[in-house]
Amino acid sequence: MHADTVVGRATSTPSSAEKAVAPASAGASLIDGTALAKIIRGELAEEVRELHARGVTPGLTVVLVGEDPASAVYVGAKEKASREAGMTGETIRLPADTSQAQLLALVEQLNADGSVHGILVQMPLPKQIDPDTVILHIDPKKDVDGFHPVNVGKLLIGQADGFAPCTPAGVQRMLVHYGVETRGADCVIVGRSTIVGKPMAALMVQGGAGADATVTICHSRTRDLAAHTRRADILIVAAGRPRMITADMVKRGAVVIDVGMNRIADASTKSGTRLVGDVDFEGVRQVASLITPVPGGVGPMTIAMLLRNTVRAARRTLGA
């Protein structure tokens, strides 16, 4: 049985060495997503070698429509990580004026291609294409993003044979890896997106390791946000607003997971910008016990769990 993060539970058991926490320069210790993602990719490389021996090479195909710079960088990282793990990592780039019918025809071709085990259509899509229609056309067994309604439903009811979205699955793996006690913990999630907030809540409320939490979802209409965040033992922030969570909004000793990635102006850098999260890192790390940095926290885990889902999809073709 291979260690895996699946819908409803995290089944991996970290070693004592894996639980080592990198100290921050002050206050909270850092949750090192880059280091953990490297461990996961090493596990996956071994699984891929086993699959090679049985005549299967896990294949991930990413479809990129248009020239969105951030999407292009992210897609390039996915392709590179796939190949480093011994997988087939292909990116199909389509022009921005691609029609919805053309994209759907491509998705159907990939559904029928036995060498492709995972399909990911990179969002956002140009305005002439409806993302929900595209997601519905992806074979749920190849939906390694975990966005198809079939996989969403399996996640919600706790069925372990679906795919959980990669970012929430990565966050849960972090909590397990660092030995965070989630059973009975107050877990507050800021953000209700279908990509992070809602599936994160569904994972945390299930039974099992890295879950069994009491979950609250906060959003733009929540009254007195700070009253909710201050009672959180585990605070997961995915709201898309730079540094919105400040130290006075965090319970002392809380575990803080910052999913946000926002580019702000910074004249001191060569590019004139820098990445920050949804959490005021410098302030919050003075009161938290564990905290993810941005960058180097959740981001690398998202890609690692995408590869994990693809390897799972490939293994299923062997009935495993």
Catalytic site residue from 32, 78, 142, 280: 78
Please state the domain count of the chain.
2
Name the domain boundary from 146, 168, 193. 146
Each of the 320 residues of the chain gets a pLDDT tens digit; together they read 333 333 333 333 444 333 434 444 468 999 999 999 999 999 999 999 999 999 999 999 999 999 888 788 888 888 899 999 999 999 999 999 999 999 999 999 999 999 999 999 999 999 999 999 999 999 999 999 999 999 999 999 999 999 999 999 999 999 999 999 999 999 999 999 999 999 999 999 999 999 999 999 999 999 999 999 999 999 999 999 999 999 999 999 999 999 999 999 999 998 898 999 999 999 999 999 999 999 999 999 999 999 999 999 999 999 86
Question: Is residue 269 situated within a structural domain?
Answer: yes
Catalytic site residue from 4, 32, 122, 251: 122
Retrieve residue 52's tokens: 């090679």
Altogether, the residues listed in the chain come to a count of 320
Give catalytic status of residue 141 as yes or no: no
Give catalytic status of residue 145 as yes or no: yes
Question: Is residue 156 situated within a structural domain?
Answer: no
Catalytic site residue from 145, 233, 278, 280: 145
The whole model's pTM is what?
0.90
Question: Domain span at residue 18?
Answer: 5-31+178-299
- In a shared domain, residues 25 and 125: no
Measuring CA to CA, which residue among 202, 169, 187, 173 is closest to residue 13?
A: 173
Question: Is residue 45 situated within a structural domain?
Answer: no
Question: Is residue 37 situated within a structural domain?
Answer: no
Alpha-carbon distance 264 to 274, whole Å?
6
Sheet of 59-65, strand order: 88-94, 59-65, 118-121
Number of Cβ within 10 Å of residue 286's Cβ equals: 14
Which residue in this structure is represented by tokens 């079939």? 150
